[in-house]
């Protein structure tokens, strides 16, 4: 799993119907920014743990997403 | 999920039968161009959100594709 | 999905029994050569579209392959 | 599978409910640090074998994790 | 699928119970060494074909492995 820092969010009016209601955060990981669905409630500046691939989709009720925030690291964590 | 910009499309007369009817866009992401199935209706210049892997295939009715456009980002998005 | 150019093929006498009958092509993609199962009939010099991961395995009747040629791009394509 | 060395652990109070009870280790692999669930009992300094992707999730009772320690290499190993 | 050359093996006394009996080889591929389960009988110096991800796990009876040797290339192959 990757550790990254939330830097913002993205918005899309035109999207797959099954993405309705998902929140998408931009997360900076070591090899650049990726977009992840968030159901944990992370905000800008939070260091988060990401699950990727089919695992992320399952966690998001099978929505077509391939990255999801699954935890917010405690400030002292690492 | 990756953010990229649509730069064109590809055409293939000889292909897997189950790909019939799929539209394939060339999308420039940070680490180069990738080809993604599109069912959202993106066009050249659009910034899009891509789902990859098995997730993309499921979203495309189990077609043998490993990348799909799932959203078109709003112009001000990021 | 990746675009690549077929540069040759590989042969293996000793292999998983379930790979019997599969054709394996060497395909040069942007980040180096990969080997892909081919059921479309591609030849050396063809520009092809590859599906990777579990998606490729399903397309090849669940054989243990993680890359497959799913389309041959039309010459003018891109 | 990747070989890496355990360098620490991460803690997260706010996380997906289904991650309760999982231990997360920071493991340095060749291309940087990744976080992996551990059910084998690895400690700092151990060289470990990681499984990634859906495979790791299944091994961890379908928790939303995409990397797991599956073995601790014997000191003389490699 | 990746082509690599077997350079050795790794041993792990402490491991997931379901990995009992699996042989793990170190295989040098273009982007570094990876560890793969072997059920084909490859040895040091053999050039092999690797399947990765969930595909490899299925091939190894759902063991928590994400890379497997599925073929040994014929010496003249490539």
pLDDT exceeds 60 at position E10: yes
Chain B residues in contact with C68 by the CB 8 A cut-off are: 64
Higher-pLDDT residue of E75, A41:
A41
User: Is there a contact between D1 and E24 (Cβ–Cβ < 8 Å)?
Assistant: yes
Chain A residue with minimum CA distance to B57: A64
Topology of the domain covering A2-11+22-72? OB fold (Dihydrolipoamide Acetyltransferase, E2P) (2.40.50)
Tens of pLDDT, residues A18-53: 999 999 999 999 989 999 999 999 999 999 999 999
For residues C60 and C69, give the distance between their C-alpha atoms in angstroms, rounded to a whole number: 10
E78 to chain C, closest Cα gap in Å: 5
- Alpha helix stretches (DSSP H) within chain A: 54-59
Task: Mark yes or no for CB contact D49/E24 under 8 Å.
Answer: yes
Per-residue pLDDT of chain C (78 residues; tens, 9 = 90+): 999 999 999 999 999 999 999 999 999 999 899 999 999 999 999 999 999 999 999 999 999 999 999 999 998 644
What does CATH list as the number for D2-72? 2.40.50.220
Give the 3-state secondary structure of residue D75.
coil
Residue D31 has pLDDT above 90, yes or no: no
The full set of domain ranges for chain C reads 2-11+22-69
Whole-structure pTM over 0.90, yes or no?
yes
How far is Cα A20 from Cα D8, in angstroms, rounded to an integer?
38
C54 vs B contacts (CB less than 8 Å): 53-54, 57
The residues on A that touch B, with CB distances below 8 Å, are 8, 10-16, 18-19, 24, 26, 32-36, 53-54, 56-57, 62, 64-67
CATH for the stretch E2-71: 2.40.50.220
Mean pLDDT of chain E: 94
Q: Does domain C2-11+22-69 have CATH number 2.60.120.620?
A: no
Instruction: Check if the beta carbon of residue E14 is closer than 8 Å to that of residue E39.
Output: no
Residues A58-76 have a mean pLDDT of 95
Residue D37 confidence (pLDDT) above 90:
yes
Contacts of A12 in chain B (CB under 8 A): 49, 71-74, 77
- Region E28-50 average pLDDT: 96
Q: How many residues does chain B have?
A: 78
- Which pLDDT score is estimated for B77? 42
Comparison of pLDDT for C76 and D3, the residue scoring more: D3
Query: Is residue E41 within a helix (H) or strand (E), and if so which, with residue range?
Result: none
Contact B66 C56 (CB under 8 A): yes
pLDDT of residue D26: 98
What confidence tens digit (pLDDT) does each residue in B5-34 have? Answer: 999 999 999 999 999 999 999 999 998 999
Nearest to E68 among C11, C12, C64 (CB): C64
CA distance D2 to chain A (A): 13
The CATH number of domain B2-12+21-68, selected from 2.40.50.220, 3.40.50.1370, 1.10.238.10, 2.60.40.420: 2.40.50.220
Q: Kindly provide the residue ranges of all beta strands, DSSP E only, lying in chain A, ordered along the sequence.
A: 2-10, 14-15, 23-29, 32-38, 47-52, 67-72
Looking at the complex, report in whole angstroms how far the Cα of residue D26 sits from the nearest Cα belonging to chain E: 18
Residue B42 has pLDDT above 50, yes or no: yes
- pLDDT value of residue C16: 94
ipTM value: 0.91
The answer to whether residues B5 and B27 touch, using CB atoms and an 8 Å cutoff, is yes
pLDDT of residue A51: 98
């Amino acid at each position: 799993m990757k550790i990254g820092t939330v830097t913002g969010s993205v918005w899309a009016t035109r999207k797959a119907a099954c993405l309705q209601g998902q929140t998408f955060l931009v997360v900076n990981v070591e090899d650049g920014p990726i977009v992840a669905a968030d159901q944990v409630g992370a905000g800008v500046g939070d260091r988060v743990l990401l699950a990727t691939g089919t695992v992320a989709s399952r966690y998001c009720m099978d929505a077509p997403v391939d990255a999801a925030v699954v935890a917010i690291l405690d400030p002292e964590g690492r």
